[in-house]
Amino acid sequence: MSLAVEHLFFRYGARANGLGAFSLHDVSVALARGSLTGVLGPNGCGKTTLLKLLSGVLRPQAGTVALDGRAMGSLSRREIARHIAVVPQETHPAFDYLVLDMVLMGRHPHLGPFALEGPDDLRMAREALVATGTHQLQARPYMTLSGGEKQRVVIASALVQAPDVLLLDEPTASLDLGYQLEIASLLARLNRERGVTMVLATHDLNLAASLCDTLVLMRGGHVLAQGPTGEVLTDAAIRQLYDVDADVRFHERAGHLTVVPVRRVP
């Protein structure tokens, strides 16, 4: 499914002293079906807010969010959840569920009122565990897992929703290098094999360069640029986004662009 926002405006409420307000201004982004898009920008630029608007968690005060041409505001929460899954930065369940139970929760949007998971739901959950390399963990309590294992289980829970769109907020945050590479490889494979439209907000420029076919660059609630990764990710763009001089070069062995920060620009 395609996902698009046009002339989006959203503002959090300001406190009496005028502080605490943040807004997205006239944001327009088109996400093609089956694309893998990275959203880049400094802390507080609006990346997570944009993901919340794309998922329907927040409603825009102006502009439109459309899922395959249908206005998000016309869809119920259950219907949105049948098409869009979200992988947050961190997941803190209320109880220490087993891994299999955590993944089965992804089937809830497809169940009727008071319905319980059946054999097909269990099969799909186990298939999602296999797809994310976590099937051997299904009987483990979720809270006993490492950070990388938890992230893969949360992705499995998102996959079992059978989404058309997967939104990920800092999917490799706080993971070691090995797990970062595992998550990147997993997302690339799922995008390629299942055709899921993916959007990931990240501070990891090299992850975005290796994984994403398109990028959206944000700062101060505005979209500064968007387009193919090879065209958008440049030395000048990094300087504009982060006030940092960087070398952006194609790495022959890696097979993609790499970003090396050099110095902060005064």
Listed by start position, the domains of the chain span 3-264
Check pLDDT > 70 for residue 18.
no
Q: What is the model's pLDDT at position 27?
A: 95
Read off the pLDDT of residues 204-231 as tens digits, 9 standing for 90 and up: 999 999 999 999 999 999 999 999 999 9
**198: which 2 tokens?**
């993916």
HSE toward the beta carbon, residue 118, CA cutoff 13 A: 6
Q: What is the model's pLDDT at position 20?
A: 56
pLDDT band at 21 (very low <50, low <70, confident <90, very high): low
* pTM tops 0.85, yes or no: yes
pLDDT, the chain, mean: 90
What is the C-alpha separation between 19 and 39, in angstroms, rounded? 26
> Is the domain defined by 3-264 classed in CATH 3.40.50.300?
yes
Q: What is the model's pLDDT at position 214?
A: 96
Neighbour tally for 181: CB within 10 Å = 14
What is the C-alpha separation between 129 and 154, in angstroms, rounded? 10
Say which residue, 93 or 237, is predicted with more confidence.
237
Check pLDDT > 70 for residue 19.
no
Q: State the angle between helix axes of 147-159 and 177-194 in degrees (0 to 180), rounded to the nearest 10.
A: 10
CB 110 within 8 A of CB 82: yes
pLDDT band at 49 (very low <50, low <70, confident <90, very high): very high
Q: What is the model's pLDDT at position 263?
A: 95
Triad 111, 116, 120: Cα angle to 5°: 75
